[in-house]
């Protein structure tokens, strides 16, 4: 039992040392630049932001696909925008959705029990309600594969959001309640 614990601690320390190795940092910096070079010319998003955590977790990268122009941010705040942020772990070669924007509920959704006490729903919930799937944590082969996965998901989300809101600036849902829902 104690030997297992000691062995696990040694493995953890070895991983942490590898994560802070200067050679790995250079490799990850190169991967960030490669992803930036692939993403910026090809994306369908209005803006793409790249953010890293610096020295704390040099292997993490956050990429935000934003659908609004800066002048159209509600109250001038970027977090109120329509966006999807991906968390990329360059050490483990994994990607997952970290955050996404929210849309004001449509009159139809305000009558539904799951949204009864809410004012907004996430972009991911808009996609799921339209029959799409959530973006689960998944691996990738290289930066081109990573971009393809993120762009495909972003396009699917934006298609669902466009159907739900009627188009830019994606402010609120436009679906009206049915007569059955009004009677209930």
What does the pLDDT read at residue 1? 61
Average pLDDT over residues 64-81: 89
What does the pLDDT read at residue 116? 87
Q: 98-132 burial by CB neighbour count: b if 16+ within 10 A, else e?
A: ebbbbbbbbebbebeeebeeeeebbbbbbbebeee
pLDDT digits (tens, 9 = 90+) for 94-133: 999 999 999 999 998 999 999 989 999 999 999 999 999 9
Structural domain tally of the chain? Answer: 1
Which of 53, 28, 23, 46 lies closest to 169, judged by CA? 46
Structural domain including 93 reads 2-183
Pick the more confident residue, 80 or 85. 85
Q: What percentage of residues in the chain have a pLDDT greater than 90?
A: 56
Decide: pTM greater than 0.75: yes
Provide the pairing of β-strand 47-52 with 94-100: unpaired
Average pLDDT over residues 46-52: 91
CA–CA distance, 97 with 104 (Å, rounded to integer): 21
Average pLDDT over residues 60-83: 90
């Amino acid at each position: 039992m104690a030997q297992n614990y000691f062995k696990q601690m040694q493995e953890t320390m070895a991983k942490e040392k590898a994560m802070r190795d200067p050679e790995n940092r250079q490799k990850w910096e190169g991967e960030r630049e490669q992803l930036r070079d692939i993403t910026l010319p090809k994306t369908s998003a209005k803006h793409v932001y790249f953010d890293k955590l610096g020295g704390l977790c040099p292997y993490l990268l956050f990429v935000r696909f934003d659908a609004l122009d800066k002048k159209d941010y509600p109250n001038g705040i970027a977090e109120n925008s329509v966006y999807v942020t991906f968390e990329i772990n360059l050490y483990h070669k994994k990607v997952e959705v970290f955050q996404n924007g929210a849309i004001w509920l449509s009159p139809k959704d305000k009558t539904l029990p799951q949204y009864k006490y809410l004012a907004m729903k996430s972009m991911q919930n808009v996609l799921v309600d339209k029959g799409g799937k959530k973006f689960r944590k998944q691996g990738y082969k290289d930066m081109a594969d990573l971009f393809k996965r993120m762009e495909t998901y972003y396009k699917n989300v934006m298609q669902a959001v466009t159907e739900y809101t009627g188009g830019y600036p994606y402010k609120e849902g436009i679906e009206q309640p049915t007569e059955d829902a009004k009677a209930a």
